[in-house]
Each structure stands twice: as C-alpha cells, then as structure tokens.
Amino acid sequence: MNLNFIVPDINMTFGDMKFMGLNKERYVYDRENNKRTDVLESRVYNIASAVQGGQIEVTIPEYAGAKEIPPFADIELKNPKISAMATSQRDSTYANVMWKLEADDIVVKGGSSVKTAAATSGNDKK
C-alpha cells in the first residue's frame, strides 16, 4: 500500500482560516532543457490558520484561476490534501520533512465559488 497524501480533518487541522493573499506563481519546469517555461502550473496563496497558529501556504492548480478575495476574509478549502517529502544529506542519520498543502480551490466561507481575476476584469459599465 502506497501512502500518496493525507486528507485532513479541516476543523481539527486548520480551524478558522483567513485569506492573506497571493504568495507566488509556479511555472512548468522543462527538465529536458533544464529551464522554466512560461506555462503557469499553479498559484501559491498564504492563509492564516487558527489551529496552526500562523500563516501557511496552500497550492491551487492553475485551472482554478486567480483569486480576488479580500484580505482577512473567512475562507474554505475545497478537497485539501497534505503530502510530505523527506530529504537527507549524504551520511546523515537525520531527515528534513517538507509538508505541502494542496487544494482544488479556495472559496469564501459560505459561498460556492469565487470570481476569478479573469472573470472580474471585464467592463461592467451600463
């Protein structure tokens, strides 16, 4: 049996979550040519977690779109998954574990979806 990721109990793991903003955008890396491409792969957002006691990063896939959520708005994560990767140095008996939180989307609490930046950039004048 392979353990690919952990599905957390949202309330026990994160508690109340607040939106903090965009941290960075990740682009596809071309391993064959050893360089980054211009193809957007995902966006990393900062959220505040009451249970974790600070700010954490959540990775959202590119197809979810850029989020225009007001800072400190109460949010929910759709289908969150936690994965881990351990690294160690040669001849070392210790390992470093890097945790990664991914979700399908970030939505304002009580809402079903959030307008993406592309959807709100149009001219709404009447």
Q: What is the pLDDT of residue 124?
A: 45
Mean pLDDT of 62-79: 94
- What the block records as the tokens of 69 is 């959520």
Q: pLDDT tens for residues 71-117?
A: 999 999 999 999 988 888 888 888 888 889 999 999 998 876 545 55
Q: Which of 62, 47, 55, 25 is nearest to 109 (CA)?
A: 47
* Contact criterion met (CB below 8 Å) for 27 and 37: yes
pLDDT band at 120 (very low <50, low <70, confident <90, very high): very low
Q: pLDDT tens for residues 1-56?
A: 677 788 888 889 899 999 999 999 999 999 998 999 999 999 999 999 999 888 99
Domain 10-108, architecture per CATH? Beta Barrel (2.40)
φ/ψ of 77, rounded to 5, equals -105, 135
Residue 84, judged by CB atoms within 10 A of its CB (0-12, 13-18, 19+), counts as exposed
Pairwise CA distance, residues 15 & 9, whole Å: 9
Domain ranges (residues) in the chain: 10-108
* DSSP single-letter state for residue 72: T
